[in-house]
């Protein structure tokens, strides 16, 4: 049965060849190598061109070797989905980072479940810390969000010029005040709605 190797790097400057060498150094003779170069880890495994191509070539019962778990998906859920799909085909999945453990085996499934639980806990803790930090900043009177690009006087002038007799265009006002059209629209829209009401 053939051994497939898969690698992924986020930028064109990086080389997936280093991952291939790492797999070979671990004692695996790679029959077929597929690598997605310049592909972000945020893209799910099944949407990566070379990973999809590899899935079309690998036969049931063969072996897939990767250096790290994140090569198999963008997050714990994506990795789990990918491994379950490979397991249904009897494909052995080896991740060198986890000590050559076959993730489709009973021990591998246990390891995946634990890793998914840890990842979920880390996400929850991050959300808690973020919320706590925001509440503390508000309590200290700090202004949250993006800084305002115009002063109160400028906003008042923009509204007057927009609603005035000539009715300056949003594009012209954006150029005059050096802000985006979206910023001008955010300023004039509430004033226009109040004027109409």
- From CA 188, how far away is CA 183, in angstroms rounded? 9
Residues whose CB is less than 8 angstroms from the CB of residue 6 and which lie 6 or more positions away in sequence, other chains included: 33, 34, 35, 50, 51, 54, 64, 65, 66, 71
Q: Of 10, 40, 52, 149, which residue is the catalytic one?
A: 10
Whether 180 is a known active-site residue: answer: no
Distance, CA of 186 to CA of 148 (rounded, Å):
12
Q: In terms of DSSP H, where are the helices of the chain?
A: 17-25, 49-57, 76-88, 106-139, 152-163, 170-177, 181-196
Collapse the DSSP code of 90 into the 3-class scheme (helix H, G, I; strand E, B; otherwise coil) and give the result: coil
**Lookup: tokens for 177:** 């005040």
Q: Report how far residue 79's alpha carbon sits from residue 84's, in angstroms, rounded to the nearest whole number.
A: 9
Tell me which residues are annotated as active site: 10
């Amino acid at each position: 049965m053939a051994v497939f190797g898969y690698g992924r790097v986020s930028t064109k400057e990086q080389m997936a060849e280093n991952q291939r060498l790492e797999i070979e150094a671990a004692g695996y003779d790679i029959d077929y190598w597929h690598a997605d170069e310049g592909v972000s880890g945020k893209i799910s495994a099944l949407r990566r061109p070379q990973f999809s191509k590899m899935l079309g070539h690998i036969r049931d019962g063969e072996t897939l070797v990767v250096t790290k778990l994140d090569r198999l998906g963008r997050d714990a859920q994506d990795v789990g989905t990918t491994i379950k799909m490979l397991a249904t085909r009897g494909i052995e999945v080896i991740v060198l980072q986890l000590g050559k453990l076959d993730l489709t085996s009973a021990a591998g499934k246990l390891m995946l479940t634990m890793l998914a639980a840890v990842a979920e806990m880390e996400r929850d803790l991050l959300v808690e810390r973020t919320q706590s930090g925001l509440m503390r900043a508000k309590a200290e009177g700090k202004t949250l969000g993006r800084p305002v690009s115009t002063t109160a006087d400028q906003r008042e002038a923009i509204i007057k010029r927009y609603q005035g007799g000539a009715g300056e265009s949003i594009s012209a006002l954006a150029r005059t005040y050096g802000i985006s059209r979206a910023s001008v629209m955010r300023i004039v829209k509430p004033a226009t709605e109040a004027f109409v009401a």
